[in-house]
C-alpha cells in the first residue's frame, strides 16, 4: 500500500501532467536548478525563474507571473514564500521544499515537505523531483542536485555504474563526492552559471535544458557544452583566487572567518562548503559585504546553527535560517560586530 507521502508525490506528477503552461520558481543553487531541470525536461514546456533575492518569493515576482500567464505555478527549494504573494495568485500552486515546514491556508496550494512525514528527513528537493518524474536519462541531473546539497541518494551506485569516470562507487560520503570527483566539478559548474548578469544566467539555464549528457559539458563535446563550460571557466578564476587566499590565518578559536567585498560574484555558499571540507572541526563563517549588509554563509559539522543565529540576531537588523548545519544570514553592517560577538559566544 502506498504511503501518504508517495500518494502526494504521485499527485504532484499528475499536476505536472495536467497543465500546459507551467511557471517554475526555483532557488539559485544546484539543488534548485536540478529540481527545475528535471521537471521542465519531463514536461517539455513552461518557463523557469531563478529566485536570487534573499531568497524570498514575494510580491516582486508577481510581474513574472503576469508577463508569462501560466496555468500552474511550481515553487522549488525556496525556503521563504510570502503569504501575500500566494494570496494574489488565482491559479493552482505546487510547492516542493525541504526547509522549515510552511504553514498555510491556501486552498489552491499543494505542499510537499519531507519533514511533514518525518521530522528527521532532510532529503533535498532534487531527490524528490527525481522520485516524481523518474527520468532515467536525467539521473545525472538528479545526482548534481543531491550531492550539491550534501546528500548521497540510494541511486548513487546506479549513477556510478553509468558514469564511472564521474564517481567511484566506493565513495560513501557526499563531501568526498563533492570535492574529490568529476561529479563535484559538474556541481560547481551548475552553481557558477547561476552567478553574474541576469541575461547570462538565463542563457546558461536555457542551454542546460537541452544538454543530454554531462560529458557534453565536462568534455566540451558539443557547442552547447562548450558554451556552459566557457562561462564556468570565466567565473571559476575569481573563485580560485578567493579560496586559495583562505587558510589557517583566518581561524579564530573554533571559528574560521572570511570576509570579502567582491561586487560582481557571490561565492559565500561555495566557499563555506569547501572550507568545511578542508577544516571539518571548525565552524565556517563566510561573509560578503554588499549594499550596507553582510550576507553570510555558515557551516558546521557539530553545532546546530539556526537557533544560535536567531538568538544572536535578537534586537538587530537582519535575518537568518536554513538547515541544522548549513545556514545563511544577512546582517546590517552597523549590527554585524555585535552579531558576530554573540554568535561566537554561543559556541563556547
* Residue 212: CATH number of its domain: 3.90.1640.30
Q: For the segment 310-325, what is each residue's pLDDT rounded down to a tens digit?
A: 999 999 999 998 888 9
Let me know whether 60 and 169 are in one domain: yes
Per-residue model confidence as pLDDT tens digits over 180-190: 999 999 999 99
CA 159 to CA 221: how far, in whole Å? 20
Summarize the confidence of residues 106-110 as an average pLDDT: 92
Q: 90: exposed, middle or buried (C-beta count within 10 Å: 0-12, 13-18, 19+)?
A: exposed
User: Are 155 and 298 found together in one domain?
Assistant: no
Both 8 and 156 in a single domain? yes
- Parent domain of 276: 249-347
For the segment 328-344, what is each residue's pLDDT rounded down to a tens digit? Answer: 999 999 999 999 999 99
Domain boundary among 230, 264, 279: 230
Residues 86 and 145 in one domain: yes
End position of a domain, from candidates 201, 230, 259: 230
279-288 pLDDT per residue, tens: 999 999 999 9
What's the pLDDT at 211?
A: 98
Q: Could you tell me what percent of the chain has a pLDDT over 90?
A: 91
Average pLDDT estimate for 7-29: 97
Residue where the block lists cell 510537499 = 112
Q: Which of 6-15, 95-104, 125-134 has the lowest mean pLDDT?
A: 95-104
* Mean pLDDT, range 287-310, rounded to an integer: 93
Average pLDDT for 75-82: 94
User: What strands lie across the sheet with 93-96, from one edge to the other?
Assistant: 47-51, 22-27, 72-76, 93-96, 109-112
Question: Where is the domain boundary, 202, 230, 258?
Answer: 230
Domain count, the chain: 2
> Looking at residue 54, what is its pLDDT?
64
**Residues 221, 264 within the same domain:** no
Average pLDDT of span 268-276:
95
User: Are both 260 and 143 inside the same structural domain?
Assistant: no
Whether 1 shows a pLDDT value over 60: the answer reads no
Amino acid at each position: 500500500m502506498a504511503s501518504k507521502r508517495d500518494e502526494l508525490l504521485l499527485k504532484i506528477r499528475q499536476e505536472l501532467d495536467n497543465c500546459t503552461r507551467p511557471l517554475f520558481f526555483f532557488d539559485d543553487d544546484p539543488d534548485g536548478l536540478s529540481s527545475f531541470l528535471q521537471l521542465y525536461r519531463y514536461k517539455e514546456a513552461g518557463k523557469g525563474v531563478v529566485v536570487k533575492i534573499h531568497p524570498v518569493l514575494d510580491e516582486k515576482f508577481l510581474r513574472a507571473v503576469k508577463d508569462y500567464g501560466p496555468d500552474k505555478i511550481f515553487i522549488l527549494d525556496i525556503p521563504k514564500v510570502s503569504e501575500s504573494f500566494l494570496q494574489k495568485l488565482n491559479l493552482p500552486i505546487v510547492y516542493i521544499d525541504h526547509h522549515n515546514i510552511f504553514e498555510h491556508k491556501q486552498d489552491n496550494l499543494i505542499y510537499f515537505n519531507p519533514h511533514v512525514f518525518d521530522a528527521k528527513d532532510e532529503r533535498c528537493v532534487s531527490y524528490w523531483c527525481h522520485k516524481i518524474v523518474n527520468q532515467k536519462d536525467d539521473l545525472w541531473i538528479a545526482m548534481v542536485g543531491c550531492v550539491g546539497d550534501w546528500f548521497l541518494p540510494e541511486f548513487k551506485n546506479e549513477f556510478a555504474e553509468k558514469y564511472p569516470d564521474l564517481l567511484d562507487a566506493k565513495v560513501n560520503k557526499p563531501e568526498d563526492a563533492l570535492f574529490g570527483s568529476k561529479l563535484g566539478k559538474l556541481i560547481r559548474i551548475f552553481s557558477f552559471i547561476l552567478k553574474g548578469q541576469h541575461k547570462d544566467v538565463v542563457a546558461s539555464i536555457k542551454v542546460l535544458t537541452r544538454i543530454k549528457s554531462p560529458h557534453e559539458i565536462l568534455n566540451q563535446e558539443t557547442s552547447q557544452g562548450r558554451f556552459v563550460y566557457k562561462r564556468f571557466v570565466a567565473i571559476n578564476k575569481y573563485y580560485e583566487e578567493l579560496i586559495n587566499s583562505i587558510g589557517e590565518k583566518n581561524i579564530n578559536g573554533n571559528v574560521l572567518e572570511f570576509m570579502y567585498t567582491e561586487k560582481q560574484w557571490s561565492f559565500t555558499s561555495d566557499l563555506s562548503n569547501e572550507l568545511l571540507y578542508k577544516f571539518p572541526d571548525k565552524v565556517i563563517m563566510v561573509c560578503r559585504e554588499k549594499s550596507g549588509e553582510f550576507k553570510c554563509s555558515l557551516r558546521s559539522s557539530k553545532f546546530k546553527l539556526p537557533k544560535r543565529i536567531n538568538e544572536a540576531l535578537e534586537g538587530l537588523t537582519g535575518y537568518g535560517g536554513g538547515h541544522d548545519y548549513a545556514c545563511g544570514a544577512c546582517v546590517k553592517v552597523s549590527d554585524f560586530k555585535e552579531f558576530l560577538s554573540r554568535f561566537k559566544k554561543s559556541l563556547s
